[in-house]
Chain A
């Protein structure tokens, strides 16, 4: 029996539902591009794939959970394409994801992942476990692999609060969908290395919320200092990086006012060193 409203589908995953019934809506659904004969040699040989990621996004654990933050710049070659882009997305009440890579597919994947988790929760009557969510995201990154050879990279950094372990968790991914858990902090994107260097110097286990937020913003500041692809605080336009706090009570946006306050202090300290 086939009805428009009752597709024969029996799976709690929205992503799988799309893959079967509406493949054109999934990132993997563009796979037809893959079979075109005019493909560059690199994709068939599986050779070096350059990963254009002009971004810095990072996550740091603190005593009650985890803080995730990202800069606001999007680039097109040497041009700045967008000064206010948001790279940190709320996924559900207890998790968030930050992205590096091609903006379009990245935002699409964040939306799809949001729908995926909500869909599961409604169908099954309960939320996926933190680990389950992280694994599902890994499968979605894996499904995007054909697009990576076309240059459309999606690289997520995922954080969630694990109610069973009562702690925040950080997951990073590789292009093939491999999922790796970080114990303390991590940063990805072109300025990721610079941000990690800063965090390595200042990170301690069990940091308080205020200190952690300050460290996150400092790491982003240093990354913007050394990396052209990362935007620092734009004092003229009043554009600042964004941050979210994920803990046992849920997810909260850090207000722009608070971020501006921290940057004002930071910049003042830097300025005094230059005198």
Chain B
């Protein structure tokens, strides 16, 4: 009987992490940014129908970077979790915090127990009401979870985008146009190419809307915002 090779746990984790990071860095970046009426989500996405940003629940949105099939699965699981909770208890009991915790658990378990870690990085954001602040959680491939303020970046050259944004984000919350311009500039600067509106996926969680706050903007509507 052949003996399996011995690999130290440190080595194994490091290899897995490197593998996952490489997969995530291959893609493009996604930015979530707080603005006056809620949270703006912007992503570079050449496809108009395969979304990276989507609605989870009334006040909660999801964005995934990395391997599409993997974060799509996570997105669906999140919607199921949210709808189940909202149906079992009440709509206001569905929170981004519990959702982010669940994602963190799942990603962490997969990272440590499976051969292949998930090559994804995800964002779960929730807008606050009646004086409650917004919440933005960034969850990595290994299940680590980071609570972000003002803006959050995942996927691609996220460190570079983060650095570019950090200098320019104003102390006061920007309006939608200003926030979108900031995001586009940051994406352009790090991508070293001109962004076309057709390849930009834009959505918001808008506090002023009724019931379901998520809204996707078409490229024509995006143009209007920037005008």
Question: A residues near B, CB below 8 A?
Answer: 1, 3-7, 9, 14, 17-18, 22, 25, 111-112, 115, 118-119, 122-123, 125
Contact = CB atoms under 8 A, between A and B. Distances in A.
Contact of B77 (A1, A6, A22, A118): A6
A113 to B, nearest CB: 11
Given A14-B83, A119-B83, A7 B77 contact: yes
Nearest to B216: A125
Given A6-B106, A22-B84, A25-B87, A119 B79 contact: yes
B167 interface: no
Interface in B40-54: 49, 51, 54
B55 interface: yes
Interface in B74-98: 74, 76-77, 79-81, 83-84, 86-88
B87 A112 contact: yes
27 contacts: A1-B114, A3-B106, A3-B110, A4-B102, A5-B81, A5-B106, A6-B73, A6-B74, A6-B77, A6-B106, A7-B77, A7-B80, A14-B80, A14-B87, A18-B84, A18-B87, A22-B88, A25-B87, A25-B88, A115-B83, A118-B212, A119-B79, A119-B83, A122-B54, A122-B79, A125-B49, A125-B51
Given A122-B54, A125-B51, A115 B87 contact: yes
Contacts of B222: none
Interface of B: 49, 51, 54-56, 73-74, 76-77, 79-81, 83-84, 86-88, 102-103, 105-106, 109-110, 114, 212
Contact of B86 (A6, A17, A115): A115
B83 A118 contact: yes
A123 B88 contact: no
B170 to A, nearest CB: 33
Q: Interface majority SS on A: helix, strand, loop or mixed?
A: helix
A3 B103 CA distance: 10
B100 to A, nearest CB: 11
Contact of A5 (B51, B54, B105, B212): B105
B203 to A, nearest CB: 12
Interface centre among B49, B80, B81, B110, by most chain A C-beta atoms within 10 angstroms, is: B80
A111 B105 contact: no
A4 B77 CA distance: 10
Nearest to B86: A115
B77 A122 contact: no
Contacts of B80: 7, 9, 14, 17, 119
B102 A5 contact: yes
Contacts of A1: 110, 114
Contacts of B49: 125
A249 B49 CA distance: 24
Contacts of A119: 79-80, 83
B88 A5 contact: no
Nearest to B106: A5
B104 to A, nearest CB: 9
A123 B79 CA distance: 7
Of B55, B84, B114, chain A has the most CB atoms within 10 Å of the CB of B84
Choose among A6, A7, A17 the residue with the greatest number of B CB atoms under 10 Å from its CB. A6
B76 A123 contact: yes
Interface centre among B54, B56, B73, B77 (most CB of A within 10 A): B77
